[in-house]
Structure 1
Amino acid sequence: MKNYTLMLIIFLLSVSCKNGDSAKLNLMNNPPPTGRDFKQDMRDFVIGISKYAKAENKNFAIVPQNGIELVTANGDSQAPPSTTYLDAIDANGQEDLLYGYDNDDQATPTATVTYLKSLLNISKNAGKKIFVTDYCSAVSKMSNSYAKNKEAGYISFAANQRDLNNIPSFPNPIYQANGNNISNINEAQNFLYLINPDKFSSKSQFIDAVKATNYDLIIMDLFFNDKAFTSAEIAQLKTKANGGKRLVISYMSIGEAEDYRYYWKTDWKKNKPLWLDSENPNWKGNYKVHYWENDWQKIIYGNSTSYLQKILDANFDGVYLDIIDGFEYYEH
């Protein structure tokens, strides 16, 4: 009787998989983890990415976006700095500092601004550049974003589209435009965040539009409609319209998997890898990941077919790491 019961259970589980219920099996085999230091897991991930990249190009810039709590030992602004993490990065990106935290074109609550700045300043005081992306479209608010961030010692990009799919017409000329040659991320006085090329009909149109600007730093995606930019194409973008040299860095999400990326396998939604978690309800096609798992990290870096290696091979000057705050999902 016991053997029959066991066989029945195995059969039912097999049928469940075939019917697309493998997500339930995934949960049984890999329940939500407990007892981990999720902040340290993310620090270690970023540090590993940094070591790999800088071994190939010592000047390659590592810029985590959000998750600023990682700059201290426990995430509290009163705690000692996390020097190993700070030594591994070259700058920090921060969204919604002054505008966009609750809604686009809406001022971020004062308490939130104060909290974020208390941690951002730890990184700034350690010699790291702070790149702020505020989401606002009213000219007065865009102007305020540039002025207030400069006052705080940060560099601002006032994005009038949350999708980051355009080159804003304001301000013109761009804020703090200059003809300097930018060879280090700390020299940048402005930046363009343009990771969604859906308004451009071709690679060449995208390249021509960016070439016509004087931004010191371009943050863009490695891919245009699933086709990677080549080293030669990236080289075209490294000169400003005024002749000065600039940096071009690539966006890469490491805290979520994206089902529109080259690495995505079509059967993952039915037969989920153990590291693949729930879909982000706010961003269709993006899935939470157990970012500390080796199989996910191997997709991101550490080998010749990894995402980071593709970015290095395309001759980008750095990487802009997103969903660094993925630890929050597992801490709550």
Structure 2
Amino acid sequence: MVFSCIALLVSSCGDTGTGPGDEPGPYPEYMRDFVVDISDYADAVDPGFIVVPQNGQELLTTDLEPTGALVSYYAEAIDGQGREDLFFGYAADDQQTPEGETGWILQFLELAESNGVEAMVIDYCWTQWKVDSSYAWNEAEGFVSFAADHRDLDDIPGYPAEPWQANTDDVTTLGDAQNFLYLINDQCFASVDDFISALDATGYDMFVIDLFCCGEQLTSAHVQQLKTKPGGGSRLVLCYMSIGEAEDYRWYWQPEWESNPPSWLGPENPDWPGNYLVKYWYPDWQAIIFGSADSYLDRILAAGFDGVYLDKVDSYEEYI
């Protein structure tokens, strides 16, 4: 296993820049190494554990360009590549993404697929023809997708009435999944039992959910209950985890950080109050994410999730 703290000392390739705090460094490489370390650690505990970074697809190539050389060690460490707004939602929700942006993203997702990394797409739209188009266009590309009607990701969409390409097949790999539900905000649910029951009744092949619901950490029994579809087929349950921002509603947050922040904690995200940019290459932040029984990833592993869905992987862009 190659740990990121070692990579900080020996790394010399990749784009460099000067970010918040005026610390120069190869920030894309730092993030690649962080993701790889997470993958290696999880695989040592639970072989076959799924790792999917969301956005930041440019990390797949050495120069962050679609024509660049593949970073093979990174591609081999991840099972999927998540991407928001491919066809709808880039500039505004329920609006079609500009053609140039779609084309740029598609080049990376096609590169991922050609190297055994499954593309997972989240479009943000609710007009029925746009929802239908999102699913059809993604399927034509060979991508599994979800059309979210709220960017807060707080509900089970009412349309379509059944998941796209609903089936009763066993789903044991990302490549098996024909649809998924991305729901990480519990505000529409009265209790954990309400949340679990609502999801369990759906026919989705895969869930991406949070480790916590209604103030409680999900147990292995909760997660296990979600692993079987109503028709009897198995499904995957992935857990959301932000690695590029700290969240002030998580158990690890310390109240004194607001007045006396640790050296790795950066400014608050103006678009998402309570979320703070981090210097993700700092060992103290990485220790919160993985490596001990109380760390984020270890809690996810102990709860029996099939994999992890990594958010804010693209936070390296804030430093270059």
**TM bin (shorter chain):** over 0.9
- Residue 287, structure 1, aligned to residue 269, structure 2: no
TM-score, normalization: structure 2?
0.93
Q: Which residue in the other structure is 1:8 paired with?
A: none
State the Cα distance separating 1:243 from its structure 2 match: 1.1
Aligned with 1:241 (options 221, 227, 230): 230
Instruction: Give structure 1 regions of 4+ aligned residues with deviation exceeding 4 angstroms.
Output: none
Q: What is the rounded CA distance, in whole Å, between the counterparts of 2:151 and 2:97 in structure 1? A: 15
Alignment match, 2:122: 133
Q: Structure 2 CA distance, aligned partners of 1:204 and 1:225? A: 10
Please state how far the C-alpha of 1:169 moved relative to its aligned partner: 1.5
Within 5 Å, give how 1:133-172 maps onto structure 2.
133-172=122-161
Cross-structure match for 2:220: 231
Taking the TM superposition and a 5 Å limit, the aligned residue runs for 1:17-28 are none
1:257 aligns with 246
Q: Any idea what SS the aligned residue of 2:293 has?
A: coil
1:314 to 298, 303, 319: 303
**Contact (CA 8 Å) 1:73, 1:81: kept in 2 or not?**
yes
1:298 maps to a residue whose letter is: A
Find the aligned partners of 1:237 and 1:264 in 2 and give their Cα distance. Answer: 29
Paired position in structure 2 for 1:217? 206
- Whole-angstrom distance in 1 between the partners of 2:265 and 2:215: 22
Q: Is the partner of 2:136 in helix, strand or coil?
A: helix
Aligned-residue offset at 1:273: 0.1
Point out where structure 2 has 5 or more consecutive residues left out of the alignment: 1-18
Name the CA distance, whole Å, in 1 between partners of 2:43 and 2:34.
14
Deviation at 1:32, TM superposition (A): 1.7
Distance in structure 1 (CA, Å) of the matches to 2:149 and 2:28: 31
* TM-score, normalised with respect to structure 1: 0.89
Structure 1: distance between partners of 2:142 and 2:174: 14
8 Å contact 2:192–2:216 — kept in the other structure? no
Query: Which secondary structure does the structure 2 equivalent of 1:98 belong to?
Result: coil
Question: Given the alignment, which residue of 286, 300, 306 partners 1:297?
Answer: 286
- What amino acid is the match of 2:62? A
Q: Deviations over 1:275-319 (max 9, x none)?
A: 000000110000000000000000001122110000000000000
Once the two structures are TM-superposed, the CA of residue 31 in structure 1 deviates from its matched residue by 6.5
8 Å contact kept, 2:61–2:70: yes
Task: Quote the residue 1:62 is aligned against.
Answer: 51
d(CA) in 1 for partners of 2:162 and 2:282?
A: 46
1:184 and 1:150 map into 2 onto residues whose CA distance is: 17
Quote the residue 2:71 is aligned against: 82
**What's the offset of the Cα at 1:34?**
3.6
- Over residues 184-243 of structure 1, what are the superposed CA-to-partner deviations in whole Å (9 max), with x where a residue is unaligned? 122111100011111000111111111111111000000013310000111111111111
Partner of 2:39: 50
Q: Hey, what's the Cα distance between the residues in 2 that align with 1:140 and 1:223?
A: 34
Q: Confirm whether residue 203 of structure 1 aligns to residue 168 of structure 2.
A: no
User: How many residue pairs get matched?
Assistant: 302
Residues 5-59 of structure 1: per-residue CA shift (max 9 Å, x gap): xxxxxxxxxxxxxxxxxxxxxxxxx962443111000000000000000001111
What SS class does the counterpart of residue 264 from structure 1 fall into? coil
1:276 corresponds in structure 2 to 265
For the Cα contact (< 8 Å) 1:226–1:262, is it kept in 2? no
Structure 1 residues 126-171: Cα deviation after superposition (integer angstroms, max 9, x where no partner): 0111110000010000000000011111111000111111101111
The whole-number CA distance in structure 2 between the counterparts of 1:176 and 1:128 is 21
How far is the alpha carbon of 1:329 from its aligned partner? 0.7
